[in-house]
Structure formats: C-alpha cells, structure tokens
Structure 1
Amino acid sequence: MSKIKKILILGGGFGGINVLRLIQNKFKNNSNIKISIVSQDNYFLYTPMLPQVSSGLIHPNDITVPIRKLCKQAEFYHAAVSYIDMKQKLVTVTREFDGKVHALEYDYLVITLGSNTNFFDNENIEKHAFTIKTVEDALSINFNVINMLENAAQTSDLEFKKELMTFTVVGGGFAGVETMGEINQLVRDSVKNFYPSIGQENISMNLIASKDYILSELGPKLGKLAGKYLKKAGVNVLTKTKAVDAGEDYVQLDNGKIIPCMTLIWAAGVDVEPIVSEIDCIHKKSGKLKVDKYLKVLEHDHVFALGDCALITNPITGEAYPTTAQNSIHQSVTVANNLFSVISGKSNLKEYSFKSKGMMTTLGRKVAIAVLFGRPITGSLAWLIWRTYYLSQLPTLEKKYQVATSWLADLLFKRDLTFIGLIKSKFLTKVDIKSDSPSVKDFFK
C-alpha cells in the first residue's frame, strides 16, 4: 500500500477554504490522501460584507458558512495554531474552548493564516476603539450604535448628546470607507424615523485618512470623487490626518485637534499573525513569509503560503500584490494546482501571476464607486454592479438567497434597531470529551 500523504491547511479564510475545495476535488475519493484544515473559527466569513453587518443591513449568518459543511473528505479542527515546526513537519494547535494542546503531522502544509489589526503600538487606541475584522467586531459596532441612539434620545444635555452622536472611523481604505458609509446611513435614517428628539444637526460623522485622498487603491481621481460623495452625505472627511491618542470619550489627531466622541472605529492597518512571524524560515521585515513564484515558502518545497501572511511579488511591477480577497482566491488556484502536481510527481508547476479585473466599494445606499477593466464607474450603476458581483461570489446558494432577501427587505422596510446586549459564553477547564473515534481521541488526548 502507498503511504498516506497528509495535507494540512492552516486558516479558514478565502485562501484556506478555496484551497480546501479545489484540492478535495482533485483528490476526490483518493484513500491515500488525508486532508485536514485548522481554523480558530468554525466558519468561513465573507469579509467584504462585514460593514453591512455592522449597520444591521444583513445578518451575520448571511455571510458565514460552517467549515464542516465544506469538508467533503477533510477533517476539521476547531483550534488555534500555536506553533509551526517545519523541520519536524509538526503543527501544534490549541483547542478553542478548554485550551488543550495537540500536535498535527503533515507531509504538505498550506499556510494562510490572515492578519491581525495593527494599532501601531498605541495602547490607548487599542483599548478604546472598535475594530472591523470579525463577526463579533461588526455586531459590537451595531449594538454600540443602537445603544448610542437610545442614550442620546434620553438626555437633555445638548453637549453630551452631541458626543453620543459623534462617530469617528480611522482608515481611508475599503474597510474604513464602507463602514463609515454604512454607519452614516444607519444613524441618519434611524434619527429621521425613530429618534426625532436627537435631531440631524447633532450628528457628526468623521472619517480620518492619512493620505491625500481616501481609497488610494482606486487612484486620485476616484478617491477624491468618493470623498465628495461622502461629504455630500454628511461625512467630515479629514485627509492627511492621523489619530494619535484616544480615551473613553475622545480621539486626538496629529494636528492637536481633539474630537469629543463616544464611538471610535479603527480600520487603519493590519499586521502579520505572531505565529507566522515566529516560524523558523525566511521572512520579510514585516514578518510575512517569503515565497517563490510557485507560492512555495523559500527553502521548504512542501510548504505553500498565500494571502495576508505571504509576501507575493508581482513579477511585472516588482511590487507586492495587495492583500485582497480577490488575490487570495486566485492564489488558492495556483497553490492547489501546484500542490496536486508536487504530490502526483509532476514537474509542471505554474507561476503565480494575476492582473486585477477591477475594484469597487459602496459609499451608502445606492451609491458606489468602481474601476472595472480600467474603466471608472460611479453612482447607482456601480452600486448595482457591486451588489451583483458580491452576491454571485457568496459560497452557497443558501447564502445568496439570504443576502438577497435581506437587501430586498432593506429597500421595503425600516432598519431593525433591536439591542441584544452582551452574550455570556462558557469556558470548560475540567470537563474532558470522550469519543469512540480514534482521530478525535488522538486530538483531545
């Protein structure tokens, strides 16, 4: 019998899930291949729609798919990666709810662990700001906005009301701009329809961007046009500005100005996962893994890396590819093809090369901005294209239906302003899980 070859995928984002789906198809019903995937979340998250969760436009379940649902012949470990040893071909993982540790062996490794929010060592901002990277982040923002509305409607102190109704987003990229657009729409519509005692004049929306214009990926013309759209919608767009400090009720800018506000959302940068920067291999200064043109980690022929954790250079421009979902999806195709070739003993590896077909972002209701095949598109047409494209990219028919239904409901009805509050969770420390499954017993021992 041939030796069983173990493929281990680390990460359940766009890169990891697409490699999983592709490699399962390539090795369909092959008993000599064992595929495993590790993720700290037990679901795949469609991150481009997170800002819409933060505004309550769509439900978090609309953009999440249980990873087990995608594991046709793979084994799933709901755990955090704690150590990667490429010399011994071992990965140590820690089970989520009770902290138990186990080592997983591999013959071929795919690393696509994503990134963390980068606060640039600013502890005060980290302490007082919301972020927008996870479902929990988006829900926290949504609950906070509703809480601010409720509090502002019940106070007669005008200055305090203005502080409650001041929302500041730091970051002029896609995440920051889309979050600002969604929050602005939610707050203004809610005040108009449900909180008349607050008054539109007491709402203040601030978008802080460090560059000369927002959405620098789209170029100066469209970036400045996007700024005009937001200003018309009531957003104060502060360019060439940085947030340098924050407290419970304020954010301070690098020009010395202090904005009194109760809600600060940080979308200004990402950093490599610490576990990735600690791997004993060749890194970029940023901590990202250096890979060759086949997306193999340098000096490790059986390890592939893609997504936010890998430094992947465009051979034409010499610059690093942007860390977008679009790039991760295309990188996953290259990784899956090359992984199949290596395991099958073939030498026809494919070099990674990708030219973006375009980029787009929403700015509010029925307003978006895009570049498609080099052609700029704005307004309602761009908004319709944005929705059509992202709806088509959702991983299952079920999710497409759920999102489409939520979008239709938003056009027909007022936004839901239910405030759920905190949800209690339980962490097990003494309970052990028993199972007759050898693989599960091995994992939990």
Structure 2
Amino acid sequence: MIRKFSSHSRPKTKILILGGGFAGSNILREMQKQQRDDVEITLVSQDNFFLFTPMLPEVSSGMLHASDITTPIRSFCKTANFCHAKITSIDLQNKNVSLVRIFDQKESTLEYDYLVLALGSKDNFFGNVNIENFAFTIKTLEDAIAIRNHIISVLECADQEKDQILQEKLLRFVIVGGGFAGVEIATEIHHFLLDATKNYYKNIDPKNVKTIIISARDGILPEVGDELGKFALEYVRKSGIEVYVNTKAIDAGEDHVLLSDNTIIPCATLVWAGGVTVDPLIASLKCEHGQSGRLVVDSYLRLKDNTHVFALGDCAHLVDAKNNLVYPTTAQIAIRQAKLVSDNLFAEITGNANLVKPFEYHNKGVMATIGKRTGVALLNGRQVHGFPAWFLWRTFYWLHLPTREKKLKVGFDWILGTIFRADIMTVGFIKKKTLSRLETPIYSAIERTIDESQNVSYL
C-alpha cells in the first residue's frame, strides 16, 4: 500500500552545514534564495560570526577594527537555523553530528539528510611542538588582536629598555612563511612599527626595527609567478624587511628561532604562516583523503562513496581536469563552489538529476599587498604591480564584504588611516565566563525550608 503525504505533512529535508567561513556562509545564503518550505537548513559554527580573513593583517596593525571584518552569522539566517557549538564527531553512517554547546557544554546530536562540510583549515606546524607553543598565528580574529596587543607591549618594553642588545632583541620580529599570509602580515606589521616608533616612541630609533621573513622557497609569493615574485622580493627588501630564502624555521624558544642553516635569530616575536592542514574532524573521517587530509570529491563536490555528503573550500580535494592540479584553497574558489553546491543540492532534492552540474573554474587572477599602497596582481595572465595592483586588491575585497554596513565602516577607516597617526592602544584582558553545566534546579524539602526561612526566592 502506497501512502501519500500532503505538502503539509511531508517531513522536511534536513540540510546541515558545518562551518561559517567563506564556503559555509555563502552556501547558506545561496540556498535561502530558493525559499523552499520543504527544506530545513541548519548551520553550525564554533564562532557566531563570519570572518573576512583577507583583511586580518589590517586588524593586527590597527588599520581596521575587529568589528569591521566580522558579521553575525544570524544576520544571514533569514529562514535557516544557527547553532553556536563545537562539533565533536561526524557519523557518516548514521547521518548525524554530535555537538557541544559553547556556553554550558551541553551535548546534543543533529540528524541530517544532506551534509555540507565547510570547516576550513587549521595551522600546520608539521609536528614541531616548540614552534606551536611559542609562535603567534594569523588565522582567527583572536590571532590578529593578540598580535596587535603583543607588538604594542613589546614597543612599550623596548622604549624603557636601556640595554642596547636587549632592545634590539625586542625589536626583532620574525614571520615564517613566504606566501600570501606571511608576506601580507609581515609588511603590515613592518609599516605599523615604523609609523609607531616614529610618532610615539622617542627612545626607539626606527632603524633598529627589524622585520624578517623566512621563506622555504627560492623567493616569495610563488602564486603570482616568477616575475612578480621577484618584484615583490626586491620591493620588500628595499622597504627594510629582511628575507631569508631557501630556509626553514625548525625550532623555537620563547626568545629565539632556529633556522635550517643553524642560524639562531634572537627575537621576542615569532609569527607562523608556514602552512595549513584540514580540521582534525575532517582528517578523521573514514573515507578517501587526498593531500593534507582533504576529502576526495567528485566533479559535483560530493564524497565519492557518499553522495549525500558535499565538501567544499579547504575541505575538498578536487583535481582540475584542465591542468591535472588540485584546486587551491582560496576564498574565490570557495565562493564559486558554494554556488554550485547549492544548485546541485536542490537539483537532487527535487529529483532533477539532469540539473546537477560539475564544478568548473577559470582562475581570473591572484593579488597580494606588499606594502603601503603597493601590491602585485596576476589577472588573466596580465601582470600588474605597484599602486594599481594595491588599488585592485582593495577594490576587489571591499566589494566582496558581505554587507553595506561593513563596506561603509572599512571604507571610512581606510580614509581615516590616511589622515591620522597609527593607534597604539592595546585591548585589555577580557574576562570570559562559561558554565560546565546548565540544569533546571530541583530543590529538596530541606533547601525549600531554608529558602523560606531566609526569604529567598527563585525565578
């Protein structure tokens, strides 16, 4: 006997999105455009905001405020649900995900019909515990704020230090990584240091500030090609930044970095931008994995052995058929993949298999800032450098900020940054409270008697 369901009684298709970065937040917004009543969408993230990561270095230098590049995820949830929780396990076989609520650590489980994995990546320290313990990273909003507070604290200390050798040690800043993240954070820090010491710290000679980039490659910014990479290397060196090429950081302490050529650099600041890997939850899934633990997906961005699970962004290992290379982990690609996954999901839900499309991407270009009003860009094979590349970088990312409010705030702060001096105020220590347990109170007769005698009342 076949039982028919009306549109009102038919159970909703549950779509669960894990991750609130570029991939997760964009697929959420794309899917809500469909405005379907038979679908229930839930996004889970450990942060309750979307972070615009390309502008993190500018937060670390104080050019932008933390609120400029963060947007509440709930502002994207027009019809979807949001869970502010930490994901503890993913059960592909039974189609459920276990969570722990952030505030009170309460455990729960969410079931799904379709799962979207968009958890992003984590810093890869390649097993070096000392570097992991003593280095700053530049992946999260907390990272950027911590770097900023630390740099200003170091300057305050160096300004009071009478020992020349110790002051030079304090004023040495080492950044490991010659890619986009490393170069952009190094140049942003360097120019902030020069401006701050020139305007505020009378006991520090700006010439004593040393910013050092450690690159494992024969140059920096390999993503933009050899010619632009050479231009970038020459420019950052002329700006006063030292660059060690063909060199790795192999160990560190609280006051030094050890390089692969046995050079020891005394310093009080180490920033790690030397590589990323997948989230441990993704790496632990029992399915086919590619390089760095990324999940092998088909051309439709589905797991090959589980078509009800989609992976995109930093989680996905997908080979570009045109050049036989794995797609890189960039925000541009994550945004494009989000649109495709949204379309493919609804094609499957509605049973229109013919509408499912493979992922194709033409790389329009890559860009990086390498100093004040200077950048490099490779756009459709055309090389651009200097002020035009810097302006293109700012324009492109400004246009991709998620709301008009953020566009106005960032644009306003950029204008103010050209008029006023650098801000050297630190963000103080913030007390944070969580609960180990949150339960409905149950009082015994004795407790109630005590309450009554003391005139204690409970809400």
Compute the TM-score of the two structures, normalised by the length of structure 2: 0.93
Between 103-112 and 280-289, report the one with greater CA deviation.
Answer: 280-289
Match status 1:31 vs 2:48: no
Of 409, 412, 416 in structure 1, the residue corresponding to residue 416 of structure 2 is 409
The residue type paired with residue 167 of structure 1 is F
CA RMSD of aligned residues (A): 1.1
The residue type paired with residue 406 of structure 2 is K
Match of 2:294 in 1: 288
Match of 1:365 in 2: 372
Unaligned runs of 5+ in 2: 1-8, 442-459
Distance 1:266 1:421 in 2: 23
Largest Rg, 1 or 2? 2
Match of 1:17 in 2: 25
Distance 2:319 2:142 in 1: 32
Between 371-380 and 396-405, report the one with greater CA deviation.
Answer: 371-380
Match of 2:451 in 1: none
Distance 2:89 2:289 in 1: 16
Unaligned runs of 5+ in 1: 435-445
Distance 1:422 1:179 in 2: 23
Match status 1:345 vs 2:351: yes
The residue type paired with residue 290 of structure 2 is K
Distance 1:263 1:131 in 2: 11
Distance 2:306 2:394 in 1: 41
Match status 1:161 vs 2:167: yes
Match of 2:407 in 1: 400
The residue type paired with residue 8 of structure 1 is L
Match of 2:456 in 1: none
Match of 1:118 in 2: 124
Match of 2:393 in 1: 386
Distance 1:116 1:96 in 2: 19
Whether contact under 8 Å (2:249, 2:257) holds in the other structure is: yes
Distance 2:32 2:440 in 1: 29
Distance 2:262 2:307 in 1: 51
Distance 1:246 1:156 in 2: 26
What is the DSSP-based 3-state SS (H/G/I as helix, E as strand, rest coil) of the residue aligned with 1:293? coil
The residue type paired with residue 21 of structure 1 is R
Query: Residues 13-92 of structure 1 correspond to what in structure 2 (within 5 A)?
Result: 13-26=21-34, 28=35, 30-92=36-98
Deviations 1:209-243 (A, max 9, x none): 00011001111111111011101110001110000
Of 191, 214, 237 in structure 2, the residue corresponding to residue 185 of structure 1 is 191
The runs of 4+ residues in structure 1 deviating greater than 6 Å are none
Distance 2:437 2:361 in 1: 50
Match of 1:228 in 2: 234
Deviation of 1:2 (Å): 2.2
Match status 1:321 vs 2:336: no
Distance 2:135 2:128 in 1: 11
Taking a change above 3 Å as real, the CA distance of residues 280 and 259 of structure 1, as seen in their structure-2 partners, is same
What is the DSSP-based 3-state SS (H/G/I as helix, E as strand, rest coil) of the residue aligned with 1:142? helix
Match of 2:181 in 1: 175
Deviation of 1:312 (Å): 1.2
The residue type paired with residue 139 of structure 1 is I
Deviations 1:283-340 (A, max 9, x none): 2253211100100111111111001111011011111011011110111111111001
Distance 2:150 2:440 in 1: 37
Match status 1:303 vs 2:309: yes
Match status 1:2 vs 2:23: no
What is the DSSP-based 3-state SS (H/G/I as helix, E as strand, rest coil) of the residue aligned with 1:56? coil
Match of 2:448 in 1: none
Match of 2:454 in 1: none
Distance 2:97 2:426 in 1: 41
Deviation of 1:3 (Å): 2.2
The residue type paired with residue 150 of structure 2 is N
Whether contact under 8 Å (2:290, 2:296) holds in the other structure is: yes
Query: Residues 75-154 of structure 1 correspond to what in structure 2 (within 5 A)?
Result: 75-154=81-160
Deviation of 1:281 (Å): 1.9
Match of 1:441 in 2: none
The residue type paired with residue 212 of structure 2 is N
The residue type paired with residue 268 of structure 1 is G
Deviation of 1:433 (Å): 7.6
Deviations 1:21-76 (A, max 9, x none): 000111x1x32210000001000000000011111100011000000010000000
Deviation of 1:402 (Å): 0.5
The residue type paired with residue 386 of structure 1 is W
What is the DSSP-based 3-state SS (H/G/I as helix, E as strand, rest coil) of the residue aligned with 1:302? strand
The residue type paired with residue 252 of structure 1 is L
Distance 2:378 2:437 in 1: 55
The residue type paired with residue 175 of structure 2 is V
What is the DSSP-based 3-state SS (H/G/I as helix, E as strand, rest coil) of the residue aligned with 2:10? coil
The residue type paired with residue 55 of structure 1 is S
Match of 2:436 in 1: 429
Matched-pair identity in %? 47
